[in-house]
Structure 1
Amino acid sequence: MEVILVIAVAAVLIYLYYTLQNYLKNPLHSPQTTPPVAEVPSFCALPTPEEKLRQSEVGITTLLIAQVAARLPDSPLKQALIPLFLKQQEDLKELYKNPDKPPLEDLCMDFMEVAHGEYKKRLKLVEFFFVLAYAPGFLEEEAKEALLDVGAFLKLENSDFNALYDHFEQLATQKTYKVILAKIVDFGSFQTQVEMYYLDFMDAKTWNKSYYPDRMCVLWSLQERYSAVRSKIPDTSLQHACQD
């Protein structure tokens, strides 16, 4: 019996010995340590100058003006007034001409955000659009739709929007003008005169002023005078007097 036990123990020891040898020789059974993966730092790409401009208040306003102006009729007043806004920063001219523009509704939402909810600024911007829309002396249907869209997207009060519409429609119906003595010989001199009556809607100091009625009367008269010079026909603008 004792012999059997000795043989059994010896067999177990031999088995364990060979098993241990095979384990040590086989690299697949050896514990492997995986080196820690170094974390790659994440970098936020800095915005380009153009991206910064597009995200700024003046950049968003430029894109908004471009979107609305594309739906308004062309006129000498439109050609003179919009550059007066763009000239405050050289890059704005290129941004204005850039065809890559967000939808009108998105631009209006962006403008309300960067304008910090200043309702008066929104109202004066829409008034500027009314000036551009009525520059030919009447309101085209497409221009009217553009004004309705921008007024709604900028969340103007109905009473304020309707007041603008009534005022400009009344002026257009009466075809009222101011007597103009300024000398206009080319577009440059015309724009110089227009600039004297331009209201910077971004400047809070101008918010208590309006294009209605006198400024719009003067702008129409300047445009008529310039058109007479350009087409070399007798100037009739001095025959009209702006009604008070």
Structure 2
Amino acid sequence: MALGRRMIGWLRRLFGQERPHPVPAWEPEPPPPVPAWEPKPQPPQRRSEAEIDAVEVALNGLIAAGLRLGPHYEGMDRRAVARTMAEHPEFAVGDGNQTLPLTERSSEALSIAILWSYRALADAIEDEFANAAIFDDHCYDGADEETYRALFARLIDLAGAWTGRGVTVSRVPELGPYGHGFRVAFETQPPIPPLTFPADKNFDWSLLERLDACRPAAETRRFRVAADGGAGLVLFLDDTEARAIAARLGWGPDDL
């Protein structure tokens, strides 16, 4: 009997009915995960006291024209604010005079560097000024409901002209070149009718005109926008303030 079982086993192996388990193919170990890239913190820029003086003069001029500092600088005197701005790694970057000391920049150039706040974008500061803010306004083709809710809530808060300030956003299918859009609803007094618009690559700043149309009857301020294709500076000013700040920036009286 034992011989018979051995013979049957031999025949099975011979005809392939009882094959040994194959040896697993060798596979290399997966590479270790690559850590997510994070920007390295940049050290503050070294500034002389004369450079701080120049920024403080420009800042005082903007404040006299109508700019108001926000809670970000609460408890700081003007010179401390000017120093904080001037020493930030993103202050006065991106122009042709970047290597010049601040004392060799015009007051208009320094005023633009103060208002066009790349430092706020870099550090996600949303309360640097009480009546002005800078926004990323490109690559909105990938924006979702929360992106628009946060943007419009910040605009309503910046203006301070409405009470309530609740904002909700829903997606609208089959609208526009990207196949969807958004509906923004406001819970404010005075009421603001819902805004419906298609998704697009860049944010449509003309939508702010529809907010302006719903201001309280006695409100003389309105939204002013300056955009360069990468960021948008939004201010909420009356006509006198807008002309005065535009003059400080070296712009025309109707540029804000």
TM-score normalised by the chain length of structure 1: 0.25
Instruction: Write 1 or 2 for the structure with the bigger share of helix.
Output: 1
Instruction: Write 1 or 2 for the structure with the bigger share of strand.
Output: 2
TM-score normalised by the chain length of structure 2: 0.24
Which one scores higher on RCO, CA 8 angstroms, separation ≥ 6? 1
Larger Rg: 1
